[in-house]
A = this chain, B = another copy of it.
Amino acid sequence: MSTVDHLRQVRLGNLRTVLLALVDRPGSRADLAARTGLTKATLSNLTEPLLAAGVLVEDPATGAGMGRPSKPLRFHPDGPVAVGAEINVSHLAVETLGLDGETLSRHLVPADIRGSSPDEVLDRVAELIREHTGGRKLLGAGLAVPGVVHDGVVVRAPNLPELVGAPLAARLGERLGLDVELDNEANLAALAHLWPKHLAGEDFVHVSADVGIGAGVVLNGEVYRGASGFAGELGHVVIERDGELCTCGSKGCVERYAGLDVILREAGRRTLDSLHEALEAGDARAHRAVTQAGQALGVGLATLMNLFDVPTVVLGGSYAVLHEHLSAAIQSEMDTRVLAGGERHTTLVASPLGEFAVVRGAAGLVTRRAVQQPERLFA
């Protein structure tokens, strides 16, 4: 720690507070001072370099009352942006996100990834990113994969085993000349519900079924990843100790009863769309399949909630599509199995984000870091 490092930390902390307030909504220096608890003097001082760096812009004065009109500050529309990318079994996706939380562009392209080498996949991802972010200054990239990630490397990916072991973050970083952060799709889908806008509170679990079942756990406003990235493996919560054998080696895992493949098979359908149509048409077999899955998922979620004590469950991915037909069974199991103290409720909601939740989270990883480590904005 050099002489002034401590003071510098204070400044960076205040800068973070100001940026967080601006993510919430634009505001004049005086308004931001009131909202952050800092003084007007400090706000002038802190925002000056951000304006100079082109991160913020000053809007023309708005004279909507007495006194000198304020000049609201907001993120510069041509300022630096973040890009998120998603690698999945059957598609690639990219999204560009501004610091203000606005989506600038999003694209999803079908792609059969299975069998491709990591380098082939990364080439396509890099191309896709370059294609859709031309000209903008990039803060960095977030990359989502369907697997467990630790230290920038995929350590488990039952559905895309080719990716295991390769330093994807570093390799994509080389291709793009950017910092790249790699994370699990479940964690990123959860992050998308937390940043840049709180869509489900500060404590919740986001559950989705795409290939396996993944839960992204948000505790105290932070995605919880565990000591080695394996946290939130809801798919391998045991609900029947002597139940069906799972690919993971255990028995009776939730995934064997509530995985999307199981639901489709039991319902006698090939695709999620076809299943959804059948449900809307009142097909009994489809309803039975979904109800059974909901019950299994509800048992697993009840266990999760008794361990994590989070009040809210967000259904995402395929579960969000099915939620009208799925929620009752889940809720019923949770109601009887989650410990309740007094007025405690468990809330079950469907994600308002569509199929772009994961990429949005990937991009959010980057904008969030930029705000939390504001020194990066001046680089």
* A residues lining the B interface (CB < 8 Å): 1, 6-7, 9-10, 37-38, 148, 150, 155-156, 203, 215, 217, 219, 224-234, 236-242, 248-251, 295-296, 299, 302-304, 306-311, 336-337, 339, 341-342, 344
Contacts and interface: CB of A to CB of B under 8 A. Distances in A.
Given A155-B342, A219-B224, A224-B219, A306 B230 contact: yes
21 contacts: A1-B37, A9-B10, A155-B341, A203-B227, A215-B307, A226-B308, A228-B309, A230-B344, A231-B309, A233-B307, A236-B303, A236-B337, A238-B299, A239-B240, A240-B240, A240-B242, A241-B296, A241-B299, A248-B339, A303-B307, A307-B307
A39 to B, nearest CB: 9
Contacts of A302: 238, 250
Contacts of A233: 306-307, 309, 339
A156 B9 CA distance: 43
Given A238-B302, A250-B337, A299-B238, A229 B307 contact: no
A18 to B, nearest CB: 14
Contacts of A310: 226-227
A334 to B, nearest CB: 10
Contacts of A231: 307-309
Contacts of A239: 238-241
A249 B338 CA distance: 9
Nearest to A234: B307
Given A155-B342, A249-B336, A302-B250, A309 B6 contact: no
Contacts of A226: 203, 308-310
A203 B224 CA distance: 13
A225 B219 CA distance: 10
A342 B227 CA distance: 14
A306 B236 contact: yes
B303 A341 contact: no
Given A227-B309, A248-B337, A251-B337, 12 more contacts: A1-B37, A7-B10, A230-B306, A230-B309, A230-B344, A231-B309, A236-B303, A241-B296, A249-B336, A250-B336, A303-B303, A307-B308
A257 to B, nearest CB: 9
Which of A156, A248, A299, A309 is packed against the most chain B CB atoms within 10 Å? A309
A131 to B, nearest CB: 34
